[in-house]
Structure 1
């Protein structure tokens, strides 16, 4: 996992990233190692509502096609500023709804999304197209093209 973080850091080291944002829980590990290598803070969006925090919370609805549930993800607004250049890191990209929700929160805070870094992309789904059509660069370390005869067929990765 540390090597994954280093690969993302090398790719984005000259972009002026000030924060890395992810969603709990599976995105935390790759995001943490990317922040370690970039030497910037990490913020993770919570999926469960915190009953002690009601003010200054930015939220977005995120639908999981895998789990067939909608979650309200949230980040305290005090953690993002208009000066921030954000790298979103997540473990999987399928339909792009998690990244779309994070983008909504980040932009509501006035911060700028520099790119979306993905560990494994399901290229046969439309997440990449959704993000790129909205002008968000996507960098995936592994891209699954399809499943054939019980085997995974990969596309060329971005790095």
Structure 2
């Protein structure tokens, strides 16, 4: 048995008051990512090799963190830090396959994004970057909350 009643009128969904805030948050995270990227491409070369390598690895994970937060601004700092760290470690372990080295031989972008060869010393650098990014984010959130009170 079919109903002959017309469908209910379309009612638009109520506006999300956080949409503007989320849009601004995403823009802020993308701006932060751009800053981290510039620092990551220039900063390590200004330091001695070991310190530059550590900074480069830490900034790689910080860049992953900022891009993740731009995509999902509601993530809490520990979650975003753990995901960024896991992604960085996954890329580093992927280098053991030789695929990133092959891709890097043909593309500068692939070399910058995936690296070329596995280096175990990058793993703690990634952890440092994830920890620093999450700590800075947590501190900024606390200061913002304190300012709203």
TM-score in terms of structure 2 length: 0.25
Query: More relative contact order in 1 or in 2 (CA 8 Å, sep 6+)?
Result: 2
- Structure number having the greater helix percentage: 2
- Structure number having the greater strand percentage: 1
TM-score in terms of structure 1 length: 0.24
Larger Rg: 2
